[in-house]
Every structure is written in structure tokens, then in C-alpha cells.
Amino acid sequence: MSKFSHRVANARIAMLAGAGLGLSVGDAAVGGPGVELFEFVHDYAQVGGGTGFMNAQTALNGATMWELDPGLGGVGTLRLTEAAPNEFGSAWRSTRLLAGLDWSTTFSMQASMLGGVNDLQSEPGGDGFGFHIQNTGTNAIASYDGVGFGGDHLTIAFDTFDESGMGLFGRIILNGMTLSTFDIGALGLGGAIEDWSGAVYTSTISYNSAADTLFVGVFNESTGAFVGSSANVDLLAAGLGDATFGFTANTSSSFQNHDIRAWRFDGATVPAPATIAMLGLGGLAATRRRR
């Protein structure tokens, strides 16, 4: 995570204070009493029968589970859906994110056991992975491309089923509006990953709050192929100053295992004392509860 300049940090925190988050301009982004930096690194792909890869700070919903998969060599995984029809699942970190400040995340995805109806490239497997920042909460379940959220949301969607005949794409989506697309079909062997091939794909997503710019990159760990995209977006103005973050996936008549193999995140949150203070601010307690 990049270090914020005091000028930029104070300007953003002033806006967050205006949004009702209980912060003051004196709460500098580094070391201030009202903003706490956090970082976590989880490598779920631990070999063996242990449960150490399971994380209690991650809320699982729907079909999502912790899984030791013998088909993947007995490694652990955060399985968003199994390879079965019409499954929906989600996983959300319990830490609240100040998404209006700088943040970055890197995670690895893998699809396996592809089956069901073929897409227009005559390949099975679907429907896709999604990373989201949203204010519906840690019980939310939505499709990988964000359909079903009850509130504001930023979605990075990764297609694994080609329903247009134009190939597979990634999309940056804000509240249902596509801001940018990128061709993830170029990542695979032979120029296509229409079947996702069982390979591991790693994505890095970062937000620059001073420039209101979101960057997304994806690479194939087997071949080193890379694609990326960016979009101009003000997450604070979009209603995501204080939000929940994590993943969804879903299947339909085409299906696959949707696995997150590893996840890293660097960001900022409101520490517990500041949150407790906020709960005494009348109506704010009703709208900004910790989940």
C-alpha cells in the first residue's frame, strides 16, 4: 500500500468526515487516531489435512466453503462454488474498508471440474469470479458480476462462460454500469482460456484516491501472459467510503469449482475506539454499525 501524503490524506478524511464517518481532519492516514492501516496475507493452498488455512475473519455465505480438495493435490482452498448447477456463494472480510483512501489487493483464482452446458466457444464451465466492494454487508450474496446487491457496489468481474461468442472479458462495474473491459481470453495457452484450463490466474487491483483511478491487472502464472485495464472512479462519491469487501461466484446450467487460492489486502479502516465513538452519534448508529 502506498503511503498517503498528509495533504491528500487530510483532504480525503475531511470528505469522509462529511460523509458521516466520525473522522476529523487531524486524523492523518498514517498514525492518526481515526484511521488504522491494515494488511493481511492468506495462502489457502496448504497441503495436508490441517485446518490452518481456514480464516475466522471471513464470513461465508451460500455455497461457499473451506475445502481440502484431493483433486487439487489435497491443498486447501476458499471454494466459492462447487462444480454443480445453479450455485451462488460469497466470502466477505469482517474488517470494514475505508475505500475512499488508497488500497490494493492481490488474489489467485482457479477453476476446475468444468461441466454442464457448453458456451458459444463449445467449452463448458461457468459462470465467473467477482471481487467486490459493497455496502450491503457481510450477508450479501450476488452474482459474480454484481447483480443482486441491494446497495452501492464496485465489481471486478471475470467471465468464465462466453455467452456472446466474442470471447471472455473482465469488467470494471460501478453500480451496474460498466466502466471498462479487458480481454482475459488473451491470457491462456493458444490465445484463449475459454475453458480456464485449470491454470491459476492472479489479479492485482489497486485504487489511487488522489487520482480517483482504479487499476486491474491479471496474469497467467503458467505462461506469464498479462492483461490490464483502468477506470476513473471516485469511490467516496459513489457511496463506498466505508464498505465491505470480498468475493462472489455463481454457476448456472454450466458449472465449475470457483476457488480462491491466496489473498492479500492492504487498506485502511476505522479502528474500534473510533467506531465506538461513532455509535454515540444519534442516527449514525443505525446506518454505520459494524457488521
pLDDT, the chain, mean: 79
- pLDDT for 69 equals 81
Q: How confident is the model at residue 139 (pLDDT cuts 50, 70, 90)?
A: very high
Q: What stretch of H or E contains 88?
A: strand 88-93
For 282, the grid coordinates are 444519534
Closest among 235, 289, 263, 245 to 95, alpha carbons compared = 245
Q: Which stretch of 74-83, 138-147, 185-194 has the lowest confidence by average pLDDT?
A: 185-194
Residue pair 94/58 in contact (Cβ under 8 Å)? The answer is yes
For 113, the grid coordinates are 471440474
CB-based burial label for 19 (10 Å; 0-12, 13-18, 19+): middle
162-219 pLDDT, tens digit each: 776 667 889 999 999 999 999 887 776 333 444 455 688 899 999 999 999 999 999 8
- For the chain, give every residue range classified as CATH 2.60.120.200: 39-269
Q: Which amino acid is residue 39, in one-letter code?
A: E
22-55 pLDDT, tens digit each: 443 333 333 345 788 999 999 888 766 567 788 8
Q: Omega before 145 cis (within 30°)?
A: no
What is the fold of 39-269?
A: Jelly Rolls (2.60.120)
Alpha-carbon dihedral sign for residues 158, 110, 260, 221: negative
